[in-house]
Every structure is written in structure tokens, then in C-alpha cells.
Amino acid sequence: MPAVSELFRDERKKGIDVFLGNRKEVVYTELESDEKEAIKIVFEYGLKQIGRISPKIASDIKLQESLIYKVAGIFKEMLPEKKSYAFPSESGNLGVAWLFPQAIKYATTVPTSYKNNSWDIDLTAGTKAWLFGDGTNYYKTCGETGKHSAILIFQDGIIEIGSTPKAEQFRLIAEGVTKYGIYTVAPMVEERIEENRLIYQYPTPMGATAIFYDRGIMWGFMPKASGTSTIKLLGLVFYEHDFASDLKWI
């Protein structure tokens, strides 16, 4: 099993950190060229769309391309039944897609503050809210047989849309590593990332975050104002075909 520090050495040289909780080593397999091509197709069409709206955010995400193949290789090797990536996915394959609400909250019981089928979170000033987890229960990706999934949130990939951003304090912990305190954002986060667009980008100083089905995380924040916020997470979901074989609604 490769050491995490060695596997992601090149990313760290580019200023891309990776949060994997307390994992020091991971299982991993190098992807075949056709698998990389399938993932690259998905990555590039999403990046093109983001670039039309926010070239600055697209530039941040583009630097993280090599990271997606490594996280995909970890997920592939974790699975009890070995499968290969394809786009679009087919029965017996692995799929990849840009994150969407039903990939995060894949069941009504999944611990998160997100509403069902939505990027919206209802906030109350002074009451913790959760991207993942709920303060008591850790969030894990789907661990159902034949429907396993994994999530990669890109570094600096938390985007609030349509209002003055309501978060300044964040905390990210994982099963087995609860020692970390909060991190905060610079006051300038209230300035729009793109002129004439209500788009606000939160930094993720602990890096890109990979979430799997075997160990959970909790990622919360303290709202400074009440209301409903639209907070979109830029990232990818990797999955066994049956996890998203048809249009999903929770």
C-alpha cells in the first residue's frame, strides 16, 4: 500500500493538499488509459462549463486534474468486486460524475444539513450547520453492496451563490482524527470572485477532501446570519453503476 505522502507528492508540489483523515497509507491501483480518458471527458466538460461562469474558479480546479485519477484509483482498489471506469457507465462498470445533491444526500437518513434534492441549507445564526455529518454522526459515502460511492471535493471548491456569504468559521474532522480545531476565512470572502456575479468562494486550507464509505467525516460551519443559503460543492463522485444507473430523486 502506498503512503499517502508519497502518492500525493506531486500535488503538494503544486500547492494542492489532500485531506484523508488519519489515513497514512491507502490501497491504490493505477488506472488504465481508457479509464483515465473516461474520467477526463467528465472532468473537462464540467470544467468548460465552470469556466464560462467563473474563469478564476475553473483555473483553481484545473490544477487538480492529476488528483482525480489517484482518488479514482483508491476507490477502485477498495471495492470488493473489481470493476473498470467507463463513461457513460454501464452495468458492471464504475461511473464518474460531477457532484450533484443526490450523490451527497443519497438517502433521507444521511447526516448533513442539506435539504433533500437540493444545494440549499437552512441556517440559524449561532447554530452549527453541516456540509457532512451532523455533530454527532459522521458522514460516509454509500456503502451498499453494488452501489458503493466515493466523493472528492476540490481544494477551494466550496461556493456560495446568490447572497452575502454567511460563514466565517469551519471545522473539519474525521473518524480517528478529532484533534483539529476550527479554521476561518479571510474577511475578503464577502467580495465576489467574479465581477457582476453573485459567486463567493470559500478557501479550504486543509486541501481537497476525499470521502469514502469505510470512514466518516464531519465538516461543519457556524453561520453568522439566518436564512437559506445555496452552497455548492465542486467535486466528483465515483460510483458503482447501480448507485446512479437511472435518474435519482430522494
Q: What is the rounded CA–CA span in Å between residue 237 and residue 99?
A: 6
For 75-166, strand residue ranges (E) read: 94-98, 120-123, 129-132, 149-161
Q: For the whole model, what pTM was predicted?
A: 0.95
pLDDT beyond 80 at 248 = yes
pLDDT beyond 90 at 9 = yes
| Position 191 confidence tier, pLDDT thresholds 50, 70, 90 | low
Would you say 155 and 66 are in contact if contact means Cβ atoms under 8 Å apart?
Answer: no
**DSSP-based helix, strand, coil % in the chain, nearest 5:** 25, 30, 45
Average pLDDT, the chain: 94
Mean per-residue pLDDT, 128-154: 98
- Label residues 198-224 b or e (16+ Cβ within 10 Å = b): ebbbbebeebbbbbbbebbbbbbbbbe
pLDDT beyond 60 at 64 = yes
Per-residue pLDDT reduced to its tens digit, 224-243: 999 999 999 999 999 999 99
Helix (H) or strand (E) holding 58: helix 55-62
Mean per-residue pLDDT, 95-114: 98
> How high is the pLDDT of residue 155?
98
> How high is the pLDDT of residue 164?
81
Residues linked to residue 208 through DSSP beta bridges, in sequence order: 18
> How high is the pLDDT of residue 198?
84
| Position 199 confidence tier, pLDDT thresholds 50, 70, 90 | confident
End-to-end CA distance of the chain: 36
> How high is the pLDDT of residue 189?
58
> How high is the pLDDT of residue 165?
87
pLDDT beyond 90 at 173 = yes
